[in-house]
Amino acid sequence: MARERIVSADDALDDLPEPERVWDELDNHEQALHEKLRPSRLEDVIGQREVVERLMIALDAARKRSEPLGHILFDGPPGLGKTTFANVIPKEMGTSLQIANGSAMTAPKDILPYLTNASEGSVLFIDEIHRLPMAVEEFIYPVMEDFRVDVTLGDGLNARTINMQLRPFTIIGATTRSGMLSGPLRNRFQLREHLEFYNVEDLTEIIRRNASKLKVGIDDLSAEEIGRRSRGTPRLANNLLRWVRDYATSRADGSINLELARAALEMQGVDEQGLDSWDRKYLQTLIRIFGGGPAGIDAIAHTMNVAVDTLHDEIEPFLLRMEFIVRSPRGRLARQAAFDHMGMQNNLDTDQRRLF
């Protein structure tokens, strides 16, 4: 059944601020600060206890057998620690790290130098591994299985394939879209770890530790307030901490108290549940334009004028986790909690909406 629009997209969205994330666009200085806050050893990693414990066992076994670690895949929304784990693991193993990105690999020849450069027991981190084209993916299957590559030299009648043996090493893949990974690739990772959003206690601890690294005074209540509003995401916790620090320096003597923290977060448009202007714009669109749904992700993205990937990877996971929305075969649905949070009237419950 075609759903009627309540108001035109432009009218309904006119009064909303342009979405802006505190983590957007880091310059070099920012990047350096970011690196300073990244844990460098497994013992500095906060939260994700089960993942850490499994990694410790795998690392210990590899060390005892003097073998390279099995291949590991990390998946989960941005900012939850995939790159952090990929950096920490080679440090724990006392080995070197190469970093590649799936989106930069267009053909097997692009990944070949990384494979031949890999020293024994080293780590090759492939970020956004779901973006590897099929030809590259198939090329690395024999690498992942028995450290062998088949390279074709020449073409036409002169083409011949040579078989190269590589030194054994570890591939660590990271993806925000594990569903886009093919079965054969996924199955070639011995460990597959899904990173969950962090709870408030862990985020508070991350903020306390990083405040001390940044040499800024912060009381427990303020650390908890920032933690609660960090969307379950350490990267955002770090960025909000730095913003609150700037605010405290500009408006007061530099140390952070609850009043300053709240005022600073308010100024960034982060509400008590941690939703920012992007999240609220999503909920407003789903509720005001699509009457609470069901609405397809393409239609929502088009109306908000953002990429489908941004909604799928960055916005929806947290709204799903907060139970503000559900995904149904017919599209996205707003739950009662979303109507309540946005102060909007809901005329149908979620089950009735599913029938549309």
Which residues are catalytic, by number? 82-83, 127, 176, 235
H/E segment holding residue 191: strand 191-194
Question: Considering the complex, what minimum distance in angstroms separates the CB of residue 21 from ligand ADP?
Answer: 13
Between residues 85 and 290, which has the closer beta carbon with respect to ligand ADP?
Answer: 85
**In the block, which residue shows the tokens 């862990």?**
202
Question: Considering the complex, what minimum distance in angstroms separates the CB of residue 206 from ligand ADP?
Answer: 5
* CB neighbour list of residue 138: distance below 8 Å, 6 or more residues apart: none
Between residues 79 and 274, which has the closer beta carbon with respect to ligand ADP?
Answer: 79
Residue 352, classified by CB atoms within 10 Å of its CB into exposed (0-12), middle (13-18) or buried (19+), is exposed
Between residues 41 and 109, which has the closer beta carbon with respect to ligand ADP?
Answer: 41
Backbone dihedral angles phi then psi of residue 345, each to the nearest 5 degrees: -75, 135
CA 125, CA 118: separation in Å to the nearest integer? 11
The distance from CA 119 to its chain's CA centroid, rounded to whole angstroms, is 29
Between residues 10 and 24, which has the closer beta carbon with respect to ligand ADP?
Answer: 24
Question: Considering the complex, what minimum distance in angstroms separates the CB of residue 20 from ligand ADP?
Answer: 19
216 and 254 Cβ atoms separated by less than 8 Å: yes
Question: Considering the complex, what minimum distance in angstroms separates the CB of residue 30 from ligand ADP?
Answer: 11
Q: Which residue is nearest to ligand ADP (CB)?
A: 81
Question: Considering the complex, what minimum distance in angstroms separates the CB of residue 143 from ligand ADP?
Answer: 23
For every residue of 68-118, which 3-state class applies, written as one string?
CCCCEEEECCCCCCHHHHHHHHHHHHCCCEEEEEHHHCCCHHHHHHHHHHC
Between residues 26 and 61, which has the closer beta carbon with respect to ligand ADP?
Answer: 26
CA 85, CA 239: separation in Å to the nearest integer? 19
Cis ω for the linkage preceding 17 (within 30 of 0): no
**Side chain identity, residue 9:** A
- Which residues of the shown chain bind ligand ADP in the complex (CB under 6 A)? 34, 37-39, 45-48, 78-84, 174, 206, 234-235, 238
